[in-house]
């Protein structure tokens, strides 16, 4: 859009107008041919010197007597110029861009070559300017450019070289037909300058150096030197006319092309600056809009490519400019990569967080359900436990009622076997389950049989376990809170001790009632330990010949005697256990 505004005037009509105005001057052809001869002579001198300086191979594209076109083509890549300058002033151009094989013969015009080799030419011109030599415009090496200024510059360089080779005698002063040097003018264009300013300054250089193209000079009153007027298309129009006013028709196309090249250069320059501004804004956007990193990346990528392209092609760029953009680009890419990684990590963390939340909700729900179930089960268990205690109590009552029904006092009879050496004459006639029949000795020649009933009668072959089986239910009654007394009664040697305790050599099978009863007592109390707590104590005494002795006394009171009136309930041959 900017280009359309700047180039809104009709270049064709302008050229025609200028040609028409200056038609009258075309008659002075002799003067023109003389000028051309002089220019050719100077050009040949320059070509010869350059060929000698860089060698025939180095200057292969520069004939010894070149035409103006050949001269321009031979030098437009700046390689010969830089190499010659480096020979005269070593290190003046640190880096010379070498030409690709096909670049020097590019047939499509100078504009493309100017871009390709602009760096060489620019560096050459900067160095020459720093040396105080007359310079020329880069566009002078393009088609339609002013080769005369190039010739002038190189002749000045030649003069300088000669002065150095002569040992630097005296102060060097170039006295060719050059115009005064443009000292004080900085060739490198400042990027901040507006287009019209740039064009104005360029014209000023032309005016002071060569052909009077200045807009600062009052040319027939059509061109204003007022900078403010240069901003409109009308003064621009006038400027173009002024530039072309005193030019020969055959020079006009070249000049117009040269001007167009400048316009294009400025246009490129402005585009570069605009893109630079855009890239700065777009590069900032991704950091602010964290929700759309992929889109920002593409935008940044495009911008980067464009900046690259602009930097490469911009005629106003220099090394500093390029390094700055390169660094910026590198920094932006690094930040973009870092941002992408952070975005990715944030997405992963969000995903993990959501998954964890869902998991937590699931576990909370599960926990609540299980907690409710557990509560219900505990309630059921508590209810069952309460029922169990009721049932247990009921069972206890029923159990002991059964024991009562069996008889609160039970009497058992046990007949011991014969001892070794005893006469085997028994008075026991018959033993039934609950009775025993005794045959008394003959009295008056007549046998007497008498039967006795018991809860149970045990014969000589009855084992200890069989005898204890009928007593065992009473042990449980003890733990249910009932008082129980088991004792053995009989004459000496009838087997009381054997029944209640067991023989001298005790085994599992021969243990008597009291061992078995105590064993059951501890077993049942252990079974009920969760519901009841029991205390068990044992006392063992002997009553013999009206004497009561504590059989478990350990303090020497083995023969401790108890008052007899406390033991009236016991007979001397009873063994008391509970
Ligand atoms: N059922 C039995 N089987 C085998 N041997 C027995 C049996 N009963 C008793 N005896 C034996 O008979 C003997 C006398 O028994 P025991 O000492 O138990 O009688 P006791 O009634 O305790 O006598 P005391 O009143 O004099 O103490 C012992 O040698 C004992 O081993």
Residue whose CA is at the smallest distance from ligand 1 atom 8: 495
* Residue 495 labelled as part of a binding site: yes
What does residue 495 show for φ and ψ, rounded to 5 degrees?
115, 20
Average pLDDT estimate for 203-213: 38
Give the residues surrounding ligand 1 with Cβ less than 6 Å away: 416-417, 419, 490, 492-498, 503, 573
Annotated binding residue at 494? yes
Tell me which of 524 and 544 has the higher pLDDT: 524
For 398-406, what is the mean pLDDT? 83
- Which atom belonging to ligand 1 lies closest to the Cα atom of 416? 1
Summarize pLDDT for 135-183 with one digit per residue, the tens. 888 888 887 778 888 999 999 999 889 888 888 777 676 655 444 443 3
CA atoms within 13 A on the CB side of 174: 22
Q: Is 554 among the annotated ligand-binding positions?
A: no
Look at the chain and count its residues: 578
Confidence of residue 199 (pLDDT cuts 50, 70, 90): very low
Q: Which of 16-30, 213-227, 248-262 shows the lowest mean pLDDT across its residues?
A: 213-227
According to the annotation, is 372 in a ligand binding site?
no
Q: How far is the CA of 492 from the centre of ligand 1 (A)?
A: 8
Please tell me the distance from the alpha carbon of residue 176 to that of residue 159, in angstroms, as a whole number. 9
Ligand 1: residue of 493, 514, 545, 577 to mutate (most ligand atoms within 8 A of CB) is 493
pLDDT score of 412 more than 90: yes
Which residues, 6 or more positions from 542, have their beta carbon under 8 angstroms from its beta carbon?
548, 549, 551
- Going from the C-alpha of 192 to that of each of 103, 184, 198, 265, the distances in angstroms are 32, 19, 10, 14
Probe target for ligand 1 pocket from 426, 487, 488, 497, with the most ligand atoms within 8 Å of CB: 497
Taking alpha carbons only, the member of 324, 288, 292, 286 closest to residue 307 is 324
pLDDT tens-digit series, residues 468-508: 998 898 888 888 888 889 989 999 999 999 999 999 999 99
pLDDT in tens, 443-476: 666 778 889 999 999 999 999 999 999 889 888 8
Cα 129 from Cα 117, distance rounded (Å): 18
Sign of CA dihedral 365, 368, 371, 375: negative
> What is the Å distance from ligand 1's center to 567 Cα?
25
Ligand 1 atom nearest the C-alpha of 504 is: 31
Residue 488 Cα: closest atom of ligand 1: 21
Has residue 95 got a pLDDT over 70?
yes
What integer is the mean pLDDT of 392-405?
83
* Residues contacting 300, CB < 8 A, separation 6+: 279, 282, 283, 286, 332, 333, 336
Span of 315-329, 338-352, 368-382 with lowest mean pLDDT? 315-329
If you measure from the C-alpha of residue 419 to the centroid of ligand 1, how many angstroms do you get, rounded to a whole number? 9
ipTM of the complex: 0.98
Q: Separation of 499 CA from ligand 1 center, angstroms? A: 8
**What atom in ligand 1 is closest to the CA of residue 490?**
21
Q: Has 497 been labeled as part of a binding site?
A: yes
């Amino acid at each position: 859009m900017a280009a359309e505004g700047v180039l809104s005037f009709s270049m064709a009509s302008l050229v025609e107008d200028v040609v028409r105005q200056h038609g009258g001057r075309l008659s002075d052809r002799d003067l023109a041919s003389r000028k051309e001869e002089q220019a050719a002579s100077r050009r040949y001198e320059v070509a010869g010197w350059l060929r000698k300086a860089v060698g025939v191979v180095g200057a292969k594209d520069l004939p010894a007597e070149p035409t103006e076109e050949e001269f321009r083509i031979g030098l437009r890549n700046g390689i010969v110029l830089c190499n010659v300058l480096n020979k005269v002033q070593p290190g003046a151009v640190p880096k010379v861009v070498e030409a690709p094989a096909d670049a020097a013969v590019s047939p499509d015009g100078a504009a493309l070559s100017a871009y390709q080799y602009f760096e060489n030419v620019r560096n050459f011109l900067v160095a020459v300017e720093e040396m105080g030599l007359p310079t020329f415009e880069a566009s002078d090496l393009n088609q339609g450019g002013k080769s005369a200024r190039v010739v002038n510059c190189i002749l000045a360089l030649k003069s300088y070289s000669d002065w150095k080779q002569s040992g630097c005698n005296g102060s060097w002063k170039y006295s060719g037909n050059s115009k005064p040097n443009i000292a004080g003018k900085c060739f490198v264009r400042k990027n901040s300058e507006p287009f019209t300013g740039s064009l104005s300054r360029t014209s000023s250089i032309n005016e002071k150096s060569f052909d009077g193209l200045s807009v600062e000079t009052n040319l027939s009153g059509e061109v204003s030197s007022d900078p403010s007027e240069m901003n409109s298309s009308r003064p621009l129009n006038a400027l173009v006319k002024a530039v072309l006013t005193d030019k020969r028709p055959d020079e006009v196309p070249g000049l117009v092309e040269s001007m167009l090249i400048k316009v294009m250069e400025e246009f490129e320059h402005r585009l570069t600056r605009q893109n630079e501004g855009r890239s700065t804004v777009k590069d900032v956007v991704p950091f602010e809009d964290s929700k759309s990193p992929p889109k920002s990346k593409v935008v940044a990528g495009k911008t980067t490519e464009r900046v690259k392209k602009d930097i490469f092609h911009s005629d106003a760029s220099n090394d500093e400019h390029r390094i700055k953009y390169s660094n910026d680009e590198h920094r932006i890419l690094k930040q973009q990569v870092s941002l992408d990684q952070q975005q990715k990590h944030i997405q992963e963390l969000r995903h993990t967080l959501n998954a964890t939340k869902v998991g937590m909700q699931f576990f909370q729900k599960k926990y609540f359900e299980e907690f409710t179930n557990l509560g219900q089960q505990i309630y059921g268990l508590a209810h069952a436990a309460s029922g169990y205690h009721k049932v247990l109590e009921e069972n206890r009552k029923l159990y002991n009622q059964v024991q009562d029904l069996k008889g609160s006092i039970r009497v058992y009879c046990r007949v011991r076997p014969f001892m070794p050496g005893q006469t085997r004459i028994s008075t026991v006639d018959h033993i039934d389950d609950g009775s025993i029949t005794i045959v008394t000795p003959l009295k008056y020649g007549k046998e007497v049989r008498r039967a006795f009933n018991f809860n149970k009668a045990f014969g000589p072959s009855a084992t200890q376990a069989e005898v204890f089986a009928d007593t065992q239910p009473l042990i449980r009654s003890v733990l249910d809170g009932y008082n129980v007394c088991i004792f053995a009664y009989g004459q000496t040697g009838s087997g009381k001790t054997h029944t209640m305790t067991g023989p001298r050599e005790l085994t599992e099978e021969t243990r008597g009632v009291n061992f078995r009863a105590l064993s059951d007592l501890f077993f049942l109390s252990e079974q009920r330990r969760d519901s009841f707590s029991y205390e068990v104590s044992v006392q063992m005494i002997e009553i013999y010949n009206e004497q009561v002795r504590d059989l478990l006394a350990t303090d020497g009171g083995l023969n401790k005697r108890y008052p007899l009136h406390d033991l009236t309930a016991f007979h001397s041959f009873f063994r008391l256990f509970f």
